Structure 1
Amino acid sequence: MLPDRYAVFGHPIGHSKSPLIHTLFVQQTGENIAYTAQDVPPECFEVALRTFHAGGGKGLNCTVPLKELAFQAADELTSRARQSEAVNTLVWRDDKLCGDNTDGIGLLRDLTENLAIDLSGRRLLVLGAGGAVRGILRPLLERKPACLVIANRTVSRAQSLAARFAALGPVSAVGFPGLQGLRFDLVLNATAAGLQGELPPLPDDLLAPDGDCYDLMYADKPTAFVRWGHDHGARLSVDGLGMLVEQAAEAFLVWRGVRPRTAPVIRRLRRATATGGE
């Protein structure tokens, strides 16, 4: 029997670890799946979507810069996709295109289950106010932190996000200069600048004692933000590889009704990164 077809769309896509992750999930679960990566510029998204489905495609992951386009293309949306206005997981059901966002639950599982970080009553800071942030605010606030502050270069964008999620918990917004004098138990970097070695201007005493740093981005070497965390006394300072695997497992569950075990996959990818393989 021919395998069911799934893929990740993005631009660029050559760096993506998703095909390896889903290959490992298939080996673990025995599901009959073929998963590929396709480079799809935004202007080609609608045509690529139709072509993939016409060729028997069952579901997709969508990464940068296609999550908002996937949101617009979906016929039906889950509540978490609707609130974030971004979709990273698509599945066709009865010829209806259903959109979901698994980024938030992926982050939450990595923080609370893999890294054993308790969010309840903690002071959280999120750096950035782009599409990635919209996908993570709801699950973070549902864990009832003492406060959640969004810091962004353009303050109005952070304020707009804070107002959108205000009903879910104590969320506020500042510009980067407004971080002076504030202390946080967990700082999450949701800006992409760190991949180019750049960071927002952060006070040296931003982290509370035993505070943690988490970069939603991942790379084969420690990101600039992960290095900043180590240099400023973070208890833990890690990248988003675990989040990547966890959101992929949630997408797999959406598609197949089976949740793969993530711990062995994360370990495999960490080993490969450390040795320069895969």
Structure 2
Amino acid sequence: MDQYVVFGNPVGHSKSPAIHRLFAEQTGEQLEYSTLLAPLEDFANCALGFFKQGRGANVTVPFKEDAFRLCDQLTDRARRAGAVNMLTRLDNGGLRGDNTDGLGLVRDLTVNVGVSLKGKRILLLGAGGAVRGVIESLLEQEPASLIIANRTVEKAEQLAQIFAELGPVASSGFDWLEESVDIIINATSASLAGELPPIAASLIEPGVTVCYDMMYGKEPTPFCRWASEHGAKLSVDGFGMLVEQAAVAFTYWRGVEVDTAPVLKALRAEMAG
């Protein structure tokens, strides 16, 4: 039976095996999908060992850049992102790398949440790998502007330069921003520490601004709570993004489309329980 894994460290908490199990049940595909705890100092040998038999893998923190360096073939979006969250073994034994995070984010926002990004003023918080993986997909939606804000402004400036040819992207420090925007996407790791990015509440126009946190949990994240308290039209966590990027991978690997709605519903209910 074809084998797939998600690499991470830690990785035991990952919902990816449950997501792919539900996709397999829905489509009648026969496969095994599990977690694989890769050693922090030796991702490459761990991954190459798996791919002696394995067909494909998802990659989560902290290995997306390690996975990028391991690839024999890269999609354009993975090359631009400098990070890979999906590996596929090629017929010649080499590895193909892709980054489906941006596709997952955009599909969750536009399809599941029902928010159009065209012509919108989007603020993206952070300048790490999570941000690099989604800028191209966001710019493809033709926003009026995309501002990358980060504590270290130089990092945001570097990203703005890398993606400048793809659309209206600019950089900023957190404390430079005061004027409200249409959409705020939190791609910092602040929520993992129970903290908030240091941004002004005036960025939220009550009843208009949509706030999205790439992190998720059983309870609303600190960012989502902050957004709701300040009158955001919607505050959404990143669980839908996780399911949608997994769907892109599943369809590529297996050649079948999946319906993500029942999977999202089932896993949300499971988490709430």
TM over 0.5: yes
The answer as to 2:109 corresponding to 1:111 is yes
Structure 2 CA distance for aligned equivalents of residues 90 and 253 of structure 1: 13
The answer as to 2:188 corresponding to 1:176 is no
Structure 1 CA distance for aligned equivalents of residues 149 and 39 of structure 2: 29
AA at the equivalent of 2:191: G
For residue 229 of structure 2, what is the aligned residue in structure 1?
Answer: 231
1:217 and 1:241 in contact (8 A); partners too: yes
Task: Report how far residue 259 of structure 1 moved.
Answer: 2.2
For residue 163 of structure 2, what is the aligned residue in structure 1?
Answer: 165
Task: Report how far residue 174 of structure 1 moved.
Answer: 0.7
For residue 68 of structure 2, what is the aligned residue in structure 1?
Answer: 71
Task: Report how far residue 42 of structure 1 moved.
Answer: 2.9
Structure 2 CA distance for aligned equivalents of residues 50 and 146 of structure 1: 43
Quick one: percent identity of the two aligned structures?
A: 55
Counterparts of residues 242-253 of structure 1 (less than 5 Å) = 242-253=240-251
Q: Spell out, residue by residue over 1:225-245, the C-alpha distance to the aligned partner (whole angstroms, 9 max, x if none).
A: 111111111111010000000
For residue 84 of structure 1, what is the aligned residue in structure 2?
Answer: 81
For residue 62 of structure 1, what is the aligned residue in structure 2?
Answer: 59
For residue 101 of structure 1, what is the aligned residue in structure 2?
Answer: 99
Structure 2 CA distance for aligned equivalents of residues 53 and 197 of structure 1: 37
1:90 and 1:100 in contact (8 A); partners too: yes
Structure 2 CA distance for aligned equivalents of residues 88 and 260 of structure 1: 19
AA at the equivalent of 1:202: I
Structure 1 stretch displaced more, 162-171 or 240-249: 162-171
For residue 127 of structure 1, what is the aligned residue in structure 2?
Answer: 125
TM-score, normalization by structure 2: 0.97
1:187 and 1:212 in contact (8 A); partners too: yes
Structure 2 CA distance for aligned equivalents of residues 154 and 41 of structure 1: 29
The CA RMSD over aligned residues, in Å, is: 0.9
TM-score, normalization by structure 1: 0.95
Structure 1 CA distance for aligned equivalents of residues 243 and 57 of structure 2: 15
Structure 1 CA distance for aligned equivalents of residues 241 and 103 of structure 2: 9
Counterparts of residues 119-268 of structure 1 (less than 5 Å) = 119-180=117-178, 182-209=179-206, 210-268=208-266
Structure 2 CA distance for aligned equivalents of residues 26 and 141 of structure 1: 32
Structure 1 CA distance for aligned equivalents of residues 88 and 54 of structure 2: 9
Counterparts of residues 20-39 of structure 1 (less than 5 Å) = 20-39=18-37
2:142 and 2:167 in contact (8 A); partners too: yes
Q: Spell out, residue by residue over 1:197-246, the C-alpha distance to the aligned partner (whole angstroms, 9 max, x if none).
A: 11121112111241100001111111111111111111110100000000
**Gaps (5+ residues) in structure 2?**
none
**Gaps (5+ residues) in structure 1?**
none
